[in-house]
Amino acid sequence: MTVIDFAAFIGRLATSSGDTILPFFRTSLTIDNKQPGRDFDPVTEADRAAEAVMRRLIKASFPQHGIIGEEFGNEREDADYVWVLDPIDGTKSFIAGFPVWGTLIALLHKGAPVFGMMHQPFIGERFSGDNGSATYKGPSGERKLGVRRCAAIKDATLFTTSPLLMNDGDRGIFEKVQAEARLTRYGGDCYSYCMLAAGQLDLVIETELKPYDVAALIPIITGAGGIITTWDGKPAQNGGRIVAAGDKRVHEAAMKILNA
């Protein structure tokens, strides 16, 4: 089957997860900490319910496929086709009532991301890509996504979710890139990568990402003409320390600083 064969189904996953999440947004929620006694890593009933809905749909439609999910672990992860799910990327924003979160849905074929979608149901936006092209659908209509040209870091807008999520060593390295950038902003989670694909910013640098944090974003960024790798230049789908850029010149310049 081709990615085109899955397009309508991925839309169903997005719609079903969004319908499950929205009744919880900006309400009084019970919030659990996945790492009690350590850093605050929140999870809510909305996260769990949305992933459960998507898993049920996948199992009913494609029982031979694998699933990697943030909330309920991995099943058949050695299958040819594997779905990678993050029901709410940006849970900290979600519980604070800010709409800079999204549902990430990726499809891997033999380990490589071949389709990705970020769905923001409150705003009604979908960003999707298949490595060859990327598309936006939302309140302003539908259009192709494309990164913007940026010749140097001194002209770049840089985003990271928060330097506080980095260890001391990585934070120090990040600050060297930050010192060179024209503008640095914090926050965004998955939205930062989608805005990069939309040509609104130039560089995203993160650390300690999990596969479900990034797999769906890779086909969107590459489909829009951007580049996303680990800090040491390897494929990004397994997570870790990630650098994404709209222009390969900025990516190369950032890599030199990150690996100096």
CA dihedral sign of residues 10, 11, 13, 17: positive
CA dihedral sign of residues 212, 113, 254, 101: negative
Annotated binding residue 86: yes
Annotated binding residue 10: no
Annotated binding residue 213: yes
DSSP 138-170: ETTEEEE--------GGG-EEEES-GGGS-HHH
Q: Which pair of tokens denotes residue 64?
A: 């031979």
Contact 206, 184 (CB under 8 A): no
Annotated binding residue 41: no
Alpha-carbon distances of 98 from 122, 139, 169, rounded to whole Å: 10, 18, 30
Annotated binding residue 78: no
Chain CA centroid to CA 178, Å: 21
Residue numbers in the known binding site are 70, 86, 88-89, 213
Annotated binding site for Mg(2+): 70, 86, 88-89, 213
